[in-house]
Amino acid sequence: MSTEHTLVLVKPDGVARGLTGQILARIEAKGYELVDLKKFTPGRELLEAHYAEHEGKPFYEPLVAFMMSGDVVAAKVSGHRVIEGFRSLAGTTDPTTAAPGTIRGDLGRDWDLKVQQNLVHGSDSSESAERELALWFG
Ligand code: RTP
Ligand code: MG
């Protein structure tokens, strides 16, 4: 076993659409553990730190505004190769082309042209996971 921890966010579209339970159930069904959970509306400071790598990109401001638009559920998730495993469960960024069977492919929508509302975030590497878990869970 190579146990890792990752940060999963159910974004405001997922919480507002009542999909939090379904999304967390898929994570548990895969065999990952929900170590810690919290629900709140994140502030700009936290989001700017979280999305620092995207500063200056055309979708950056709409993304930060979208993420501040309502409650998110942040989850600290552990499991064998969970960083890569959750990215695989989530599917690719664009919900229209994300594979069926994935969270984004089955449930995501990209009707808002400014930013892809793709339901979830998952850390993309062990360095990102460590940095993001420190930001969201201290
Ligand atoms: P995430 O960070 O949320 O897990 O998603 P990701 O790695 O698949 O995507 P990333 O490239 O890191 O982009 C972060 C989030 O920005 C929004 N986005 N919108 N052109 C667009 O409309 C666009 N591109 C990116 C998405 O919400 C994406 O998840
Ligand atoms: Mg990303």
Band of the pLDDT at 1, cuts 50, 70, 90?
A: confident
Nearest ligand to the CA atom of 57: 1
Q: Coil, strand or helix: which one is 111?
A: coil
- Please state the domain count of the chain: 1
Ligand 2 geometric centre to CA of 18 (Å): 23
- With pLDDT > 70 as the criterion, what percentage of the chain qualifies? 99
Q: What is the mean pLDDT of the chain?
A: 96
Q: Does 110 contact ligand 1 (Cβ within 6 A)?
A: no
Mean pLDDT for the stretch of residues 29-58:
98
Instruction: Give first-to-last CA distance, the chain, whole Å.
Output: 26
Total residues belonging to the chain: 138
Q: Note the pLDDT tens digit of each residue in 74-110.
A: 999 999 999 999 999 999 999 999 999 999 999 998 8
Q: Is 122 in the pocket of ligand 1 (CB under 6 A)?
A: yes
Contact 50, 64 (CB under 8 A): no
| DSSP sequence for 70-109 | S-EEEEEEEEETHHHHHHHHH--S-TTTSPTTSHHHHH-B
Is the CB of 59 inside a 6 Å radius of any atom of ligand 1?
yes
| Structural domain of 133 | 3-137
Ligand-binding site membership of 39 (annotated): no
d(CA 39, CA 136): 11
Going by the DSSP 8-state scheme, the letter that residue 16 receives in this structure is H
Residue 121 annotated to the active site: yes
- 2: its two tokens: 């190579």
- pTM of this prediction? 0.95
Task: Report whether 87 belongs to an annotated binding site.
Answer: yes
Location of structure tokens 């460590």: 130
- Does residue 113 carry a pLDDT above 70? no
| Nearest 10 degrees: Cα torsion 97, 53, 124, 19 | -60
How large is the average pLDDT for residues 28-49? 98
Beta bridge partners of 9: 74, 121
27 lines ligand 1 (CB under 6 A): no
Q: What is the ipTM of this complex?
A: 0.91
**CA 19 to ligand 2 centroid distance, Å:** 20
CATH number at residue 38: 3.30.70.141
Q: Is 104 annotated in some ligand binding site?
A: yes
Expressed in angstroms and rounded, the spacing between residue 124 Cα and the centre of ligand 2 is 6
Cβ neighbours for 130, distance < 8 A, ≥ 6 positions apart: none
